[in-house]
Structures are given as structure tokens and as C-alpha cells.
Amino acid sequence: MPERAPSVDGWEVSRRIVVPRSATYGPVVSDADGFRRCFAHSPTGAVYAAYSAYAAMADQGRVVETARRLMVPGRATDALIRELQADPASSGYSVPQLAGYRVIDAGPDRVSLLLAAPVESAYMSLTLTLVWHDGDWRLQPPAVGEPVGAPFAQHRDLSDFVAWSGV
């Protein structure tokens, strides 16, 4: 995975989050409800998919539907959906724009990365693992009882990240 930001054709707003768009890396499809899918089967395609996944999860009003479409199907996803249905999140929460990413591990069908967003005078990172499933990148669900994006970490700056943002 390159240590510099991939090229983009443009940045657009998806569910109040600015996300990249590329004819090479995706998304190829944006559904009528704004859900973005069909990303390139490459580590760079997974980074594009991760930014779109972050934006999709930011829409708390659609979090259950998003989990169904975004997560790899299975028991952990079913448990997450039950948890989300039992305890819907507050819709008043403001989700920060992304500022960069760091690939932790990349293989042909699995990419783990950190996404960084500014929070007060520092940055917070969340951890996502994407798995190539049924022709697209899908999120591996968190362990039962854990929030999506765990583990989280705080960083003073973006020195360990590829700075990549459309804002």
C-alpha cells in the first residue's frame, strides 16, 4: 500500500461526510438512498470503501439498515443488529470528517486500517477491517458487545497516517 494518498476524481458529500470518488477505485454504484458500493478489489479500493463505510455509519437514523448492508453476514452481525435495535443511538451526535488513514495489514481479500478524525486538539482513530465478500468490500463486524470501530486510540497529530481529506 502506498505511503501517499491515492488519486481521486473528486470528493462528494455522503450523509454529511466528505468521501472520495474514483473511476478506478469506486464506488461504481450509489444507490438512491446514498449507499455507496462496488469498490475495486484492491487495498486502495478498500480504503475508498472504508471512507464510505464511515459515512454510512454516521447516519444514525439508518444504522440498522446500514449494518445489514455493510457488514459481513453471520452471527456477529446478527448480534450487532439486535444490539442496535435494542439501544438506538442518539441522532444528535455530530460525526467529524476524516483526516487520514493508516493501513495496518493488507491482503488480497482482507484489509485492516485505522481512520483518523480530528477531535478537539488531537485526533481519534477507529479500526476497521474490510473483507472481500460477495463481490465487494464489507466490514467485519465487531466482537459481540464492542462498538463498531473498536479499538479506538488518540493521536497528537497525523504523523503516522496518510493525510487524506476532501475538506
Number of structural domains found in the chain: 1
Residue 90 included in any domain: yes
Q: Give the pLDDT band (50/70/90) at residue 2.
A: very low
Residue 155 included in any domain: yes
Helices within the chain (DSSP H only): 43-58, 63-70, 75-86
What is the predicted pLDDT for the residue at 91?
54
Residue 1 included in any domain: no
Pick the more confident residue, 89 or 147.
Answer: 147
Structure confidence by residue, pLDDT tens digits, 91-108: 555 789 999 999 999 999
Residue 117 included in any domain: yes
Give the structural domain span for 26.
10-163
Residue 92 included in any domain: yes
Structure confidence by residue, pLDDT tens digits, 51-63: 999 999 988 888 8
CA distance 46 to 89: 26
What's the CATH code of the domain at 146?
3.10.450
Residue 61, helix vs strand vs coil = helix
What pTM does this model have? 0.93
Can you read off the three cell numbers belonging to residue 42?
Answer: 484492491
Residue 152 included in any domain: yes
Residue 147 included in any domain: yes
Q: How many CB atoms lie within 10 A of CB 81?
A: 17
Residue 25 included in any domain: yes
* Terminal-to-terminal C-alpha distance of the chain: 23
DSSP 106: E
